[in-house]
Amino acid sequence: VRAQGDTYQVVADVSQFEPPDIVVTTSNCHVAIQAEKVAEDGTVCDSFTHKCQLPEDTDPLSVSCSLTEAGTLVITARRR
């Protein structure tokens, strides 16, 4: 988690996954990123999990995320 002005950012490289394979959840200032790549036979051939806690002065309703064309997931939250 890094602070930039009045926002916090979490950045993760998920370039090996397709957008539908990536799930981001938030709960009580915790952010969880989960991604799975499933092979044609139904087995999981790659997975990614990252969890972090946002600082206490984070506005929980301001959390948003975006995925760049290069496959970088950027989660942003405003400070109160």
Annotated domain spans of the chain: 2-78
Is the CA virtual torsion 60, 11, 32, 71 positive or negative?
A: positive
Q: Can you name the CATH fold of 2-78?
A: Immunoglobulin-like (2.60.40)
Dump pLDDT digits (tens) for 22-69: 999 999 889 999 999 999 998 999 999 999 999 989 998 899 999 999
Mean pLDDT of the chain: 93
Residue 80's pLDDT is what? 86
* Cα–Cα distances in angstroms (integers) from residue 59 to residues 2, 3, 16, 47, 49, in the given order: 15, 13, 30, 29, 23
pTM: 0.85
